[in-house]
Copies of this chain bind each other. A is one copy, B any other.
């Protein structure tokens, strides 16, 4: 179970657990010390309600929380294990991976499971399956399961095998993953749940290249994705988010005439945006976006979802028009993915 472990009155999980397990709260000194140092290092004042987060049921094994002040709890009764974790997602995930799963693995003899995930982009689920049909059929006799896990612009292909020993199953899964890579090399951008922005970052770092972005419809989202990766300052120099046309002209050097003739959502403008930011920030590569994210602003000629993406290097510029969806959030997301995909395919 998760949640209800905070310092406010509506947080009743500990009290309910005490009732259920017929036990009482006792103050845990180790937890108290951790809570106090948590507040100290952040220079924040403490209240009595924060101290009370160190009061924990006598009957439980405490699961220490490195990310916050609410401890996890582990109870056992009648051959059943009850686990309580905080509801704040990143605290819960931390407790799950650092405390709960190791404890479960210690307690039970579990069968081995091996997963291998291959990350693809740019090709829809149904089309991928058409290409790799024979390969998919060959998995049955190997007792390997496959799952296609789609999200906008990306399909994760996950292979899974179970057995008594990891050594029995790991080899055959990895062999099948290698086979897959030879079938769809262009679509694969990485493995093991790597994010596209991380794969792009690795590529830039390895090749000692720098990048900048000029963003209209993505509104800074490409820059945000690239800079969400630790260490991105070695390859990402900056971005000019040019929502207003005057910013496109003044900060990116886009031709006012082209803006008037072709509109902001056009090949001419998006290419000038990419070239302009690459030059002004003096980078190896640049990406640019200009489109109609919606819900308003669409026309017959350029409906909502129309997006131009451009990639510029020192000697070349490449651009492409996309028609995405009706939904603003998804159009922004898919535009950013299309831009990163273009970098991956065009950068030499």
Residues of A whose CB lies within 8 Å of any CB of B are: 6-10, 42-45, 47, 49-50, 67, 88, 90, 124-127, 129-130, 136, 145-148, 150-151, 213, 215, 218-224, 226-228, 230-233, 236-244, 246-247, 250-251, 280-282, 294-297, 323, 325, 327-330, 332
The answer for the CA separation of A130 and B48 in the assembled complex, in Å, is 10
B228, A223: Cβ atoms under 8 Å? no
- Oligomer copy total: 2
A238, B223: Cβ atoms under 8 Å? no
The answer for the CA separation of A42 and B228 in the assembled complex, in Å, is 31
The answer for the CA separation of A260 and B221 in the assembled complex, in Å, is 30
Which residue of B129, B226, B294 contacts A7 across the interface (Cβ within 8 Å)? B129
The answer for the CA separation of A80 and B343 in the assembled complex, in Å, is 52
Asked, given contacts A47-B126, A49-B126, A224-B219, whether A250 binds B148 with beta carbons under 8 Å apart, the answer is no
Q: Hey, which chain B residues are within 8 Å of A150, CB to CB?
A: 6, 88
B230, A223: Cβ atoms under 8 Å? no
Describe A's contact surface by its main secondary structure.
mixed
Q: Hey, which chain B residues are within 8 Å of A297, CB to CB?
A: 233
B221, A224: Cβ atoms under 8 Å? yes
- Interface CB pairs A-B, < 8 A, 16: A7-B126, A47-B130, A49-B126, A67-B327, A88-B151, A215-B220, A215-B223, A219-B224, A220-B220, A220-B221, A224-B224, A232-B243, A236-B243, A238-B241, A238-B251, A246-B282
A296, B88: Cβ atoms under 8 Å? no
A323, B42: Cβ atoms under 8 Å? yes
The answer for the CA separation of A175 and B295 in the assembled complex, in Å, is 36
Q: Hey, which chain B residues are within 8 Å of A295, CB to CB?
A: 230
CB distance from A306 to the nearest CB of B (A): 11
Asked, given contacts A47-B126, A126-B7, A148-B6, whether A243 binds B233 with beta carbons under 8 Å apart, the answer is yes
CB distance from A60 to the nearest CB of B (A): 23
Q: Hey, which chain B residues are within 8 Å of A49, CB to CB?
A: 126, 129-130
A129, B9: Cβ atoms under 8 Å? yes
Asked, given contacts A220-B223, A238-B247, A238-B251, whether A147 binds B6 with beta carbons under 8 Å apart, the answer is no
The answer for the CA separation of A334 and B329 in the assembled complex, in Å, is 21
CB distance from A88 to the nearest CB of B (A): 7
